[in-house]
Amino acid sequence: MKTLAVAAAAALLFTPAAHADPAKVAHTSAKFESYSATAKAVTYDAKVPNGARVTVVGVPAVSGGTSVLLVLKGLLPNRAYGAHVHVKKCGAAPADSGPHFQNVADPVQPSVDPAYANSRNEIWLDVHTDANGFAHTESTVDWQFTERHARSVVLHNEHTHTSPGEAGTAGPRLACVNVDF
């Protein structure tokens, strides 16, 4: 274990500074509440109840990828929710969080082309809650946030679609949590 830790520290120290703004660990833990300027997690729909809890952790790997973990407590039981990393912060309106973050941006917006709107080019975090309204998932992609950043995770009403013309869509936006990726 000690050797591993030293190796990891050394790898971090000797990773060349390829960009001015190196990838960092992102973390938010919050309770969903109505929108305010200080709310970290905002609900727009009773399908994500006030007081439900969310934790998001984003970890850049030394190997160059990124893992994002999503944990949810207090949602409706036995239910599918879609979830993705979005570009902008949560706002008063569900649309304020903007589009999905894409590593390679689709020249056509809104992006519904599976060549761009897929779980390797975007971060998808769909979940299905258990009988207690608890759910967790994790997604790993092979790229990192560098000059461009993402600011939120949005929960949607259904699991994410994948066919041409609707890829990346997952129904209405129910809730949003600010995360400084």
Q: How far apart, in whole angstroms, are the C-alpha atoms of residue 65 and residue 60?
A: 6
Q: Specify the amino acid at residue 157.
A: N
Question: Interface with Cu ion includes 84 (CB under 5 A)?
Answer: yes
Separation of CA 92 from chain center: 19
Give the range of 10-18, 48-56, 76-84, 116-124 binding Cu ion by CB under 5 A. Answer: 76-84
Nearer to Cu ion, 9 or 69 (CB): 69
State the minimum distance, in angstroms, from the CB of residue 134 to Cu ion.
21
State the minimum distance, in angstroms, from the CB of residue 27 to Cu ion.
20
User: Can you tell me which of 117, 154, 155, 179 binds Cu ion, judged by CB under 5 A?
Assistant: 154
Over the window 110 to 149, marking each residue x when it contacts Cu ion by CB under 5 A and - when it does not, the resulting string is: ----------------------------------------
Q: Which two tokens stand for residue 36?
A: 């305010």
Q: How far apart, in whole angstroms, are the C-alpha atoms of residue 111 and residue 103?
A: 13
3-state secondary structure of 145: coil
Q: Total binding residues for Cu ion by CB under 5 A?
A: 2
Cα angle 166, 170, 172; round to 5: 115
Which residues sit at the interface with Cu ion, rule CB under 5 A? 84, 154
